[in-house]
Amino acid sequence: MARSKSQSGANNVAPKFLLSPAQMERGIERLQERINDLQEFDVSQLNDDGDSPRLVALSTSIEDTLDRCFGLNTAIYYRFSSAAQLHFSPGVFSEDYPRRHDYVQGTKDSIAQSISLLGEAQRTLREDLSDHEQAPVTHTANDTSKGSQELSRKVFIVHGHDDAARETVARFLERLGFQSIILHEQANQGRTVMEKVEAHGDVGFAVVLLTPDDEGCVKGGMSEPRARQNVLLELGYFLGRLGRAKVCALKRGAVEIPSDFAGVVWESMDKDGWKQALGRELEAAGHEIDWNKVMRA
């Protein structure tokens, strides 16, 4: 049985590979080949204990493909690594369980989950490819360009009324060596809010906090939590100014995501891992990230 590498190296997270467009396209093709292999696997080949040499080979092949696409021991590798866990392992054993048909059904379920994860991995590479076309990164997995050092380390934080979320993100960014730009901390100088945003918009990245500060609905509908209008306005501003690849939205709680922003990268602050996710987006935008600081933050 193939053992997932995430079990042995989950505490040693490496930086995400920065792939060239050709490498991304080849990765999408390799993932499709693994999906095809899974779809063609005949569960009748399973032994009575649910194992088979072909299943072991498939697990190893999936691990190798994920390694080639995302890099061993990277956070995004761990996100999809369970796709290689194809062997059904019963939680309990008894005289009547498991029987061969239990192993067959369990393996079918594992294969279905693996196909779903590999499809999601393909979607990730397609989004990276699309972002690269809109805002090309000047270095690849095999080329560490000095251009990344010239990017502005200023990060604009768009926020509503959730002060705790704002301060958490600001302190995290500052520990990574970025300068957090928070609008209300800047002098007004007789300017309107949008004039202040424009004046301080010379940043390398923007983090937008979608928090349930307002409520709203269509006419006659049920009221539901929404982000403040200024947050959505500034989100649109920075999407236009910086491009999607340099804007990351962090969502806290149950917040409606406007359909016009469906293509924006967003992560949930309610789950562990949002710091690593933000670090990956900053790195993909060309910034140098100290992953030891990310994991300690």
User: For the residues of 52-114, what is the DSSP string, one character each?
Assistant: -HHHHHHHHHHHHHHHHHH-TTBHHHHHHGGGG--S---S---SS-S-HHHHHHHHHHHHHHH
For residue 282, tell me if it sits in a domain. Answer: yes
Specify which residues 267 forms β-bridges with: 250
Beta strand 214-216 pairing with 224-226: antiparallel
Cα dihedral 36→39→45→51 (10° resolution): 90
Q: Are residues 256 and 200 in the same domain?
A: yes
Q: Are residues 159 and 101 in the same domain?
A: no
User: Given a cut of 70, is residue 138 above it in pLDDT?
Assistant: no
Mean pLDDT estimate for the chain: 81
pLDDT digits (tens, 9 = 90+) for 49-101: 777 888 888 889 999 899 888 887 788 888 898 999 888 877 777 777 778 77
- Domain encompassing residue 190: 147-296
Q: Model's pTM, two decimal places?
A: 0.49
Q: Which two tokens stand for residue 218?
A: 């269509």
Q: Which has more pLDDT, 297 or 116?
A: 116
Q: Which of 13-27, 141-155, 277-291 is least confident?
A: 141-155
Cα dihedral 260→266→271→277 (10° resolution): 170
Q: Which has more pLDDT, 2 or 87?
A: 87
User: Given a cut of 80, is residue 262 above it in pLDDT?
Assistant: no
Select, from the ranges 59-63, 103-107, 210-214, the one with the highest average predicted confidence (pLDDT). 59-63
- Final residue of a domain: which of 76, 108, 134? 134
Q: Are residues 266 and 157 in the same domain?
A: yes
For residue 88, tell me if it sits in a domain. Answer: yes
Residue with tokens 């956070």: 75
What CATH number is associated with residue 193? 3.40.50.2300
Q: Are residues 224 and 282 in the same domain?
A: yes
- Final residue of a domain: which of 100, 134, 168? 134
Query: What is the number of other CB atoms lying within 10 angstroms of the CB of residue 117?
Result: 21
Q: Are residues 127 and 196 in the same domain?
A: no
> Cα 227 from chain centroid?
22
Q: Are residues 182 and 220 in the same domain?
A: yes
Q: Are residues 218 and 273 in the same domain?
A: yes
For residue 140, tell me if it sits in a domain. Answer: no
pLDDT on residue 62: 93
pLDDT digits (tens, 9 = 90+) for 227-238: 888 898 898 899
